Structure formats: structure tokens, C-alpha cells
Structure 1
Amino acid sequence: MVRWQINLVVLWLGQFLVMGGMTMIVPFLPLYLQDLGLTDSHEIATWAGIIFAGNFVTSFLFQPFWGSLADRYGRKVMLLRSGFGMAIVMTLMGFATNAWQLLILRMLNGTISGFAPAAVALMSTNTPKERIGFAMGTLQSGAVAGTILGPFIGGLLAEWIGFRYIFYITGTLLFIASLLTWWLVKEKFNAREAAAKPKVSIAQSFELIRHVKQLPSLYAVTFIIQFAMLSTMPLMPLFVGELHGQSEGLAFFAGLVSSITGFSNMVASPLLGRLSDRIGPERILAICLIGAAVLFVPQALVHNVWQLFAARFGLGIFMGGLLPTVNALIRKYTPEGMESRSYSFNTSALSLGNMSGPVIGGALSGLLTIRELFIASAVVLLLNSYWVYKTLYRNHSRLNPRAQQTS
């Protein structure tokens, strides 16, 4: 294997473990809070929502800071900082004795996180240009696989070994993944050249990036993907119950419908990434944005669980082509030396979508049915595709964006 392929394998494993570790607590978090002494069901539900969201709040705020350090000191350093840091924090969660301690540790985990944008930035700057699409797609599949399998593995382990030991196991696996990154991942990074460049604040970095018209458009794609996908999730079990009836197997079908999009996403991401290397990421992005918008519509028209299952499987295929092509295009349009900062702003947009999607979707549930929310998501994606057309296609300069920025 050549160097970039070794990097990809190790970072795929790291992405899988990081995302799996962050989502592994989802199935048993309310039960763990009961173990910590909470008894009132409303209080448990409130704390569970706050604790789960706390990770994304601090991640949204701190990603640009870590991105600026990565561009100055190297992406591998940020991978190790994030990996070893999260390994320690995840282990400490197993020692929590009350909900406040667990919340603080989740927020600390979000603060020191940054493995994903550092991994993407390292791969994008250390992979041959003709293979970037495939690398971004494969890396994305690792994150999606962790997100899908994390809750499943967490639920199984909770039954077998108890809640606290899951945190110890997750911390150990993150530590091992960080060691593999330290030993096996190699980065081409000129530290002297980076140090010689003038220091630029986060606000100045955002101002520089904002003037590259394509980048805000790509950040919007990331935000809207997450927002559209998660805005319907709080109502999905109820919708499955409406279609299937309150009968045996409801929990199984609710979980299946929720996870099938991730499975098709995981399979499609490397394939669409490879295709984008051949025909261009712009075309894949356009096709997948419109395809995802169209596939939201059948979900509003289904009459049984299997129709919903098929529609969400198709949605996952188109979703699998969005984030990898967004990452490839961010690399294309980002000024030289600002890759990590650019990816960190994209990660902040992703965290913002993760936070606001379920909250706003839940709030709108009093005004709109889930079928109407599916249509609203389709409209939002279509509007986003039109904005992408204006900013990414119609108004983009024929000059190389890096050269344009330099001049």
C-alpha cells in the first residue's frame, strides 16, 4: 500500500471509533441517568437532551480554533490531541456520579474534539488529486458506520457488561486508535513555512474564507443536509407506529427505518467519491442534492413501513454523495494554507445542523405533521440546490481560486 492508502485505512478506523464512541451512549443515556440518582421521568428526559446536545454545542464553538492551530502546527498534531484527549474524557464519564458531571464531561469532549476535520484536512492535502473523491467518500463511510453502529453496539454492551464499563472500553479503543495514528499516519507539512506566515485570527480567517463565494454555499449544504435529516427524527418512531400499528416489533421497525439511510449512505459514499474523481465533484453534488430533495417527497406519501424503508434507503444513496463532494470542493476552493480552518468551519456548520434539526423539528411538530415536514425538507434542499447553482456554477471564476486569492 502507498502512503496515502495507509493514512486512509488508519483514519477510517479513527473516524469509526470517534463517531461510534460519541453515539454509543444514545440507547442507554436515560437509564444511566437513573443509575446516577434521577427518578422523575420528565427530569430524566430533559437532562438526556441537554447532555446529548452539550457535545455539539461546544464542538460548534471550538472547531475554528483547533482548525487555526492545525494550519499552523500540522494536522497530525490535532489528530493526536483530539484522539488522546477524547480517550481520557470518555473514560472519565464512567466515573461520573451525577448528571452535572456527565454534562460537563460531554461538553469537554466537544471542546477537545476535532478528529474529523483534522482527518479530512490531512487526507485532502496528502492524497493525489485524482483520488481525492474516493478518499473523501471512504473517510465519510467510516464516520457514518460509527454513527450507525455506535448506538447498536452501545445497546448490546449495556445489556452484557453494564453502563459504566462501556465508557472504559470506548476510551481504550480511542486510545488504541490514537496510537495507530501516531505510529502509522504520515503527513507532508512544512512547519517552518507555516510558522513564517502572519498569524490570522478566527474572525479574520472567516472573513477571508467568506469572500470565496463557493465556500459559504458549501457550508450551507452541510448544514441543510444535517438539518433536513434530523428535523424529522424526533417524530420518526411515532410515524412508524402510525404506519405499522402499535403491535409487536414496533421498536425493531423504528430502529430499522432510522438506520437504513445510514447503511445506504455508507455503501454509496466511496462509490460516488470514485465517480466524482472521473466526472467531477460539481456534477455529483448537483445530482445528489436534487436526488435527495426528490426522495424526501415519497416519504410524505407512503402507506406502510416497507414503502418508507425503500424511500429512506434511496435517500441514503444520494446523501452518500453530498458530504464527500462537499469536502472535495472545499479543498478545491480553499486558499492555500487555510485547509484546516476551512474544514473546521464546515464541521461547525455540521454541528449546528445536528443541534438545530431535532430542536426545530420537535418545535414544529405542533404545527406540522411529519409528512408536511418531509415536504418542507424537500423544498429546503431544492432552494439550497438553486443557491449552489448560483454561487458554485454560474458565478464561479474561471481562474484557479487559489491563484485568485493569492493575487
Structure 2
Amino acid sequence: MKLWKKNLIVCWFGSFVTMIALSQIAPILPIYIKHFGINDTSFIEQISGIAFGVTYVISAIFSPIWGHVADRVGRKPMILRASLGMAIVVFGMGFAKNVYELVGLRMLQGTISGYCTACTTLIATQTEKKHAGWALGVLSTATISGSLLGPMFGGYIEEVFGMRNVFFIMSILLLIAFITAFLFVKEDFVPSNEKDLGIKDIWEKLPRTDLMVVMFVTSFMLQLACYSAEPIITVYISELSKSSVHIALIAGITFSASGLASILAAPKIGKISDEVGPEKVMPIALLAAGIIFIPQAFVKNPEQLMILRFVLGLATAGLVPSVNTMVKKITPDSLTGRVFGFNMSALYLGTFSGSIFGAQIASHFGIKYVFIITSILLIINALWVYEMLCKKMHSKVHHSFSAAH
């Protein structure tokens, strides 16, 4: 088996576990905070929001920093640092004695993140060009499915094994990710001789900064769209359901349906991206996702919503690998870690913003408008991507051909 395929298997497992660890705390946070003796519902909601969101905000800040270090010392050291560091921090959360310790540990978790960035950079730089889309598509299933399945996984562990054991079990899984990476990830890294560059210097070295902006915005929009429904799914299911039984379970399955679809579709769509080009896949996937959001506002029962969320996952499955393939294409090798770090920051900010966006739209205008407004944003993004990637690139090729003749 080729080296990049072996590394892909290890990185997939580690990324999946890492994203579960980042997101699994969402459904149990209010219960854990109440466990500290706090009974004020309003305060619990506020602290839960802070404790959940702060990890993503801090991760967005530190992701480019760790990407820079990866370009200097290699990607495997960053994989080991992040997996072992998070294993220790998540384990510590199980011993938190108050909300301040919990929030502090969540901040520390965001600070030492960077596992997924290092894995993406490693696979992007090692994989042969003709297989890059497929490989990044496979890897993307780990991050997407892990982040979507995490809340359901955390809720299940809490119910079966108890509150604090959620953190202990996740810590063990992260430790396994560290051990497997230590033993099986191989990297022949040659450090760059370039001097340290600031953000402005990095930006000036990129051949197509306009396309890079499009990639970052698309990554942000993808996560915003995926997570805009997270805070309101349970409420929406309760409104649609004729029974009050198993509402939380149905909501978890409904939200996770798109993650399951991504696992099934991303490798295939990544392969198609290798064949036809990511610039052709992205606008179609965005437009399809935007259209699929519309009927979600008018469903009559949870089953219809579940099916549409699954179809949504099929549409969005092609976006992350296509974005990563484009980022790789327009980034010099010496800057790969840093630029992928910036893109990961966009993903983290999209996750955080999506949760806030969905809750605010639902509270001010109603749940149905969450889906409608998200649809409009995705369609606008699709048109912009088409204008920038398809029309302009086609025009540039046509102009070059005409000049040559």
C-alpha cells in the first residue's frame, strides 16, 4: 500500500475522533453545568453557549499558527501534539469542579487544536495530483461526520455510562488516535528555508488571492449552513411530531442524517472532482444544497425532514474536498500548512456562527426562516463561485488560446 494511503487511514480515524471530541459536549453541557449546582435556566443557557462556542473561536485563532509551525517542523509532530494535548485536556474536563474550570479547559482545548489542519496538509502534500480530490474527499468524511455525529454520540454515552465518563471515554479515544499516529504515520519532511512571513507576505505570495477568498468564504458558508439548524432542530421536531416520546433521539438522528450521507458520498464526489475539476463540482453542489434547504421549511413530519437532511448531506459532500483541492492547487508548497490553517479557521468560525445565526433567526422570525435564509445565502454563494471559478477561468483560457493564434 502506498504511503499516502496508509497515512490517510490513520488521519481519517484521528480526524473523526477529534471532531467528535470537539462537538460531543453540545447536548450534555447544560446538564453538566447544572451538575455544578447551578439552577438558573437563563444562566445555564448563557454559560452553555459560551462554553460550546469558545473552543471554535479559539481554534480559529490558533489554527493558522499551528499551520505555520507545521510548515517549519513537519505535519506529524503537529498531529501528535494535538491528539495527546486534547486527550489530556478532555480528560481534565471530567474533573472540573465549576463552570469556570470547564470554560477554561474548553479554551485550552481550542488553543491546542490543529489536528485536522495537520492531517489535511499531510494528505494534500503527499497524495498524487490525480488522486487528490478522492483522498481529500475521504478525509473530509471524517471531519463532517465526526462533527455531526458528535452530539448524538455524547448524549448516548452520558445516558449509558454517566456524565463524567463522557470525557474519560473521549480522552481514551484521543489517546488511541495519538498512539496510532505515532506508530503508523510516516513523513519525509524537508523544512522550508523561507524566512518567517507575516499574513500580508503570505497573501502576496499567493498567485490567485481572489480565488482564495472564494474558498475561505465557501468553507465558512458550508459550516454555517450545516450548523444553522442545530440549535432549533429539537424544537422543530417537537412541533412536527404528533408524539412527545423520543424527541431528542429523533432530533439527533435527523441532524446526523446529513453526516451519514457525507460519509457515503464524499469519496465518490471527490473522485468526480479529480476527473472534471473542483471548479465544476462546487457551484453545482452549492446550488443543490441551497435548493434542498427550501422544502425543509415546509415539511409536515419528522420523517420528511430526516430524508431532506440526508439528501442535503449528499449535496454538501462534494464541497469540502473540492475546496481543499482548489486550495492545494493555488498554494505554494512552502505555505500549505499556513493556508490550510486559514481555511480551517473559516470552517471553525462557520460552525460557531451557524449556531448563533440559526438561534437568532428562529427567535426573531420563526424556525421556517432559518431554512429559507440559509437557502438564499447558499444560492448566492453558488452564483459567486460560478462567476469566479467557471466563467472567469473559462474566459482566461479562451483569451490565452486566442492570443496564441
Structure 1 gap ranges (5+): 400-407
Percent of matched pairs sharing the same residue: 38
Please state whether the residue corresponding to 2:364 is helix, strand or coil.
Answer: coil
Post-superposition shift, 1:170?
1.7
Query: In terms of mean alpha carbon deviation, does 106-115 or 20-29 score higher?
Result: 20-29
2:219 aligns with one of 217, 222, 228: 222
- For 2:353 and 2:64, locate their aligned partners in 1 and report how far apart those are by CA, in whole Å: 19
Which residue of the partner structure matches residue 264 of structure 1?
261
Which of 302, 315, 325 is the aligned partner of 2:312? 315
C-alpha deviation, 1:13, in angstroms: 0.7
Partner in structure 2 of residue 248 of structure 1? 245
CA distance in 2 between partners of 1:224 and 1:209 (Å):
22
Deviation larger for 241-250 or 282-291: 241-250
**Contact map agreement 1:68 1:202 (CA 8 A) in 2:** no
CA displacement at 1:287 relative to structure 2: 1.6
Distance change in 2, residues 1:274/1:338 (3 Å): same
Alignment of structure 1 residues 92-103 onto 2, 5 Å: 92-103=92-103
CA spacing shift, 1:358–1:27, aligned 2, 3 Å: closer
2:402 corresponds to which residue?
none
Q: How does 1:139-154 map to 2 (within 5 A)?
A: 139-154=139-154
Map of 1:405 onto structure 2:
none
CA contact (8 A) 1:210 1:216 kept: no
Structure 1 residue 302 and structure 2 residue 299: aligned?
yes
Contact kept? 2:21, 2:170, Cα under 8 Å: yes
Return closer, same or farther for 1:323/1:370 CA change in 2, 3 Å cut-off: same
User: Any unmatched runs of 5+ in structure 2?
Assistant: 398-405
Does 2:270 align with 1:273?
A: yes
Q: Contact 1:209–1:342 (CA<8 Å) still a contact in 2?
A: no
Answer whether contact 2:23 2:151 (CA < 8 A) is retained: yes
2:173 is matched with 173
Report what 1:231 is aligned to: 228
1:376–1:145 Cα change, 3 Å: closer
On the 8 A contact 1:126/1:188 being kept in 2, the answer is no
The aligned counterpart of 2:183 is: 183
CA distance in 1, matches of 2:269, 2:357: 31
Alignment of 1:238-387 (within 5 A): 238-387=235-384
What are the Cα deviations for residues 263-309 of structure 1, in whole angstroms up to 9, with x where unaligned?
Answer: 11121111111222222222221221111111111112322222222
Say whether 1:11 aligns with 2:11.
yes
Change (3 A) 1:265 1:339: same
Distance (Å, rounded) in 2 between the aligned partners of 1:148 and 1:383: 25
Structure 1 pair 398–326 and aligned structure 2 pair: CA distance change class (3 A): same
Aligned to 1:403: none
Does 2:25 align with 1:28?
no
Q: How many residues align?
A: 396
Whole-angstrom CA distance in 1 between matches of 2:174 and 2:396? 44
The answer to whether structure 1 residue 61 and structure 2 residue 42 are counterparts is: no
The answer to which of 267-276 and 302-311 deviates more is 302-311
What are the superposed Cα offsets for residues 155-209 of structure 1, whole Å, 9 maximum, x if unpaired?
2322333222322222222122112112211123212xx1x21210234324544
CA shift, 1:227, in A, is 1.2
Give the whole-Å Cα distance in 2 for the aligned partners of 1:250 and 1:91. 30
Task: Give 1:217 shift.
Answer: 0.1
TM-score normalised to the size of structure 2?
0.93
Range that drifts further, 257-266 or 142-151: 142-151
Residue 391 of structure 2 is matched in structure 1 by 394
Are the structure 2 counterparts of residues 378 and 69 from structure 1 closer, same or farther at C-alpha, using a change threshold of 3 Å?
same
Return the offset for 1:246. 4.8
Change (3 A) 1:348 1:207: farther
Per-residue CA shift, 1:42-89, capped at 9, x if unaligned?
222211111011101101111111111111221112111111111111
Query: 1:294 and 1:156 mapped to 2: Cα distance?
Result: 32
What residue in structure 2 maps to residue 73 of structure 1?
A: 73
State the TM-score, normalizing by the size of structure 1: 0.92
User: What is the alpha-carbon distance in structure 2 between the residues aligned to residue 274 and residue 119 of structure 1?
Assistant: 19
Cα deviations by residue, 1:297-348 (Å, 9 ceiling, x for unpaired): 1112322222222221111101111111111111011123111111111111
Distance 1:324 1:376 in 2: 25
Whether contact under 8 Å (2:261, 2:311) holds in the other structure is: yes
Q: CA deviation at 1:210?
A: 8.8
Within 1, Cα distance between the matches of 2:208 and 2:68? 18
Deviates more, 1:344-353 or 1:299-308: 299-308
Give the corresponding residue for 1:163: 163
Distance across 2 between alignment mates of 1:352 and 1:203: 21
**RMSD, aligned α-carbons:** 1.9
Deviates more, 1:160-169 or 1:50-59: 160-169
